[in-house]
């Protein structure tokens, strides 16, 4: 698959664990966090300009060369980190420093500034009533406001769907994706019946959610 994005040289993704100080077993959680990021570094290494790097124990940064697998990467991250929840800011733009492929933390530029601004927007919205809430937001720096609005509205609707999922439902969705979207293989992996997998996929509106992920991927690829 070749990159379909050309207007923005880089994509910075910044994330942090929600309510990390309230996690009871922080040592094991941080170990799990590190393992998840290392796995993503291996899976998506061809798409990374700078690998997933942990910052301050409960945050991370990564720099992407392209948007080709962005939504797949972020949803995999969310499912693999459960029960921890994560805020994610996405910034499209330039870098103004040398790119160190081993350490995203030492790189700076407009894409990072925009990603950080999105994290701040998410945190602000969590403290307000009658405010659209999303755990993922994207910014191009206001260069294409209509497209940004559409993308971030879909992110907010996805967040509304995900918020209603139980941890068990997330486990079943994760197993379904990890087993090639095969319900029988997912059921075998979890030692449950295929009907339970099917029921979960329908009750969580997973297929609608999955379609929205594909739509987001298409929209971002066109930026």
Q: Quote the mean pLDDT of the chain.
A: 94
Q: Where do the H-state alpha helices sit in 44-144?
A: 70-81, 110-126
Name the DSSP letter for residue 45.
G
Q: Single out the residue of 43, 86, 53 nearest to residue 178, CA to CA.
A: 43
- pLDDT tens, position by position, 129-182: 756 789 999 999 998 999 999 999 999 999 999 999 999 999 999 999 999 999
The pTM assigned to this predicted structure is 0.94
139 contacts 115 by C-beta, under 8 angstroms: yes
Report percent pLDDT > 70 for the chain.
Answer: 96
Could you tell me the pLDDT band of residue 2, with boundaries at 50, 70 and 90?
very low
* Average pLDDT value for residue range 123-133: 81
Is 127 a residue whose pLDDT tops 90? no
Kindly report which listed range (34-48, 99-113, 126-140, 187-201) carries the lowest average pLDDT score: 126-140
3-class SS at 173? Answer: helix
pLDDT value for 22: 83
Is 5 a residue whose pLDDT tops 60? no
> Dihedral sign, CA of 120, 123, 128, 129?
positive
Domains and CATH numbers, the chain: 10-144 (3.30.70.1230)
């Amino acid at each position: 698959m070749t990159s379909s994005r050309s207007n923005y040289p880089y994509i910075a993704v910044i994330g942090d664990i929600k309510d990390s100080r309230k996690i009871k077993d922080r040592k094991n959680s941080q170990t799990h966090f590190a393992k998840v990021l290392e796995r993503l570094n291996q899976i998506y290494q061809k798409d990374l300009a700078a690998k997933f790097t942990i910052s301050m124990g409960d945050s991370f940064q990564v720099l992407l060369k392209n948007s080709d697998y962005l939504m797949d990467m972020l949803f995999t991250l969310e499912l693999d980190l459960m029960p921890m929840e994560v805020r994610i800011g996405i910034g499209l733009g330039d870098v103004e420093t040398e790119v160190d492929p081993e350490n995203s933390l030492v790189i700076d530029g407009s894409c990072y500034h925009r990603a950080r601004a999105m994290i701040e927007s998410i945190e602000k919205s969590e403290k307000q009533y009658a405010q659209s809430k999303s755990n993922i937001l994207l910014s191009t720096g206001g260069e294409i406001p209509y497209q940004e609005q559409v993308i971030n509205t879909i992110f907010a609707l996805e967040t509304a769907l995900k918020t209603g999922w139980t941890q068990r439902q997330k486990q079943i969705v994760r197993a379904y994706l990890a087993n090639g979207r095969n319900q029988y293989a997912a059921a075998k992996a979890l030692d449950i019946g295929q009907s339970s997998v099917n029921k979960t996929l329908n009750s969580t509106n997973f297929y609608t959610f999955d379609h929205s992920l594909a739509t987001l991927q298409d929209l971002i690829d066109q930026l």
